[in-house]
Structure 1
Amino acid sequence: MERWDGDRIRARADGLAALLTDTVASGASVGFLAPLGHAEAVDWWRERAHAVASGGLAVWAALDATDRVTGTVGLDFPGRPNSRHRAELVKLMVHRSARGQGLGRRLLTTAERAAAADGRTLLHLDTETGSPAERLYRSAGWTVAGTIPGYAATPAGELRPTTLYYKRLDDGPGG
């Protein structure tokens, strides 16, 4: 697992797109409706490459033994002066063929450690209420902040609630 720069994301956009389309096809609510075309997924990743190059986003990718992208996680860094202490965990995705092997946990831990090393003291995320991802976040010590009904559509277009989570990375003030 390694942190990828904008050039690497552009160069590996096809493999990243394959992961994204698999994630959507498996029913995960990651911001897209099904069916998600490969070209649309490639374009989306290429747009992320610009955010990575500008420092507003960090992306880690995991590869299998055949060099296929099997997972990703990102940290979205807000640009406002009053929010430099936090980041949003985004697009934690694991290919269906790699699920159940601890990759999601390793990706999550990688992002948390990188955020702490960067001086971030607070992480937050949102995920579909009742999704398998919720079990991961709860078991990793994330705290529920609340639930918003009908917040996002599943890949099939059904409006579902979203649960907001946060995790303090220090014991400092403001917690």
Structure 2
Amino acid sequence: MTLAEQTQAHAARLVRLTADTFEDHVVGLAEVLTACVLDGASVSFVDPFSPTDALRFWRGKVLPGVVAGDVDLIVALVGDEVAGTVQLAADTPANQPQRADVRKLLVHPKHRRKGIARSLMLEAEACAAARSRSLLTLDTRTGDAGEQLYLDLGYQVIGHIPAYALDPRKQRFEGCTLMYKQLAQLPG
């Protein structure tokens, strides 16, 4: 990361949302998700996608995990504006207590190339360590800029699945890259 990127990333303040602070930022989360989908991000949604759809996702799919304590929802704030977000989901099966999933790394298009995604990922890793989760898994669109970020952060490619998901504009199927990172050596 260049010095300019580090300076800009420091302008973003990282906050872990709780059930009590979620509503304070849900509109900003919806704006980020909507902007990313409309910009072509492959994050499970297709166009047309509205702020109402985004609010439904955050309140219906993410908030229950936050309330249950199974999901760390991290946001990057620039001033009072949500510039980006990532989730660390620790709601894994009983036989996988060492693992967590990284979900929905999103940075608003106007805040990209400022080190925010990297900062969010490092914070997700810190949350994993605090939960004693030493193995992180994620998936990303094959060839996407996020794939290179994850490689730069030390994630390893497990494999590629062709034609995994429909692109956001419903024009073609795109491949998916599965990745992992081991934060600490496990016994056995």
- Which bracket does the TM-score occupy, shorter chain normalised? over 0.9
Q: Deviations over 1:106-159 (max 9, x none)?
A: 000000111012100100000000001011000100000000111111111221
Q: How far apart are 1:68 and its partner, in Å?
A: 0.8
Kindly indicate whether the alpha-carbon contact (under 8 Å) linking 1:10 and 1:45 is maintained by their aligned counterparts in 2: no
2:39 is aligned with 1:26: yes
Q: Deviations over 1:8-44 (max 9, x none)?
A: 2233221110000001011110010012111110111
2:186 is aligned with 1:168: no
Aligned to 1:58: 72
**Paired letter, 1:129:** T
Aligned to 2:101: 88
Q: Whole-Å Cα distance in 2 between the matches of residues 144 and 84 of structure 1?
A: 22
Q: How high is the TM-score relative to the length of structure 1?
A: 0.95
Gaps in structure 2 of 5+ consecutive residues: 1-13
Select the residue among 93, 96, 119 that pairs with 1:106: 119
**Paired letter, 1:49:** L
Would you say how many aligned residue pairs link Structure 1 and Structure 2?
173
Kindly indicate whether the alpha-carbon contact (under 8 Å) linking 1:78 and 1:86 is maintained by their aligned counterparts in 2: no
Kindly indicate whether the alpha-carbon contact (under 8 Å) linking 2:88 and 2:100 is maintained by their aligned counterparts in 1: yes
Select the residue among 48, 52, 65 that pairs with 1:35: 48
**Paired letter, 1:126:** D
Gaps in structure 1 of 5+ consecutive residues: none
**Paired letter, 1:110:** E
Q: Whole-Å Cα distance in 1 between the matches of residues 97 and 23 of structure 2?
A: 27
Kindly indicate whether the alpha-carbon contact (under 8 Å) linking 1:57 and 1:76 is maintained by their aligned counterparts in 2: yes
Aligned to 1:16: 29
Q: Whole-Å Cα distance in 2 between the matches of residues 83 and 171 of structure 1?
A: 15
Q: Deviations over 1:54-81 (max 9, x none)?
A: 122110001112x110000101113421
- SS of the residue corresponding to residue 7 of structure 1 reads coil
- SS of the residue corresponding to residue 12 of structure 1 reads helix
Q: How high is the TM-score relative to the length of structure 2?
A: 0.88
Aligned to 1:115: 128
2:85 is aligned with 1:69: no
Deviates more, 1:108-117 or 1:124-133: 108-117
Q: Whole-Å Cα distance in 1 between the matches of residues 148 and 56 of structure 2?
A: 31
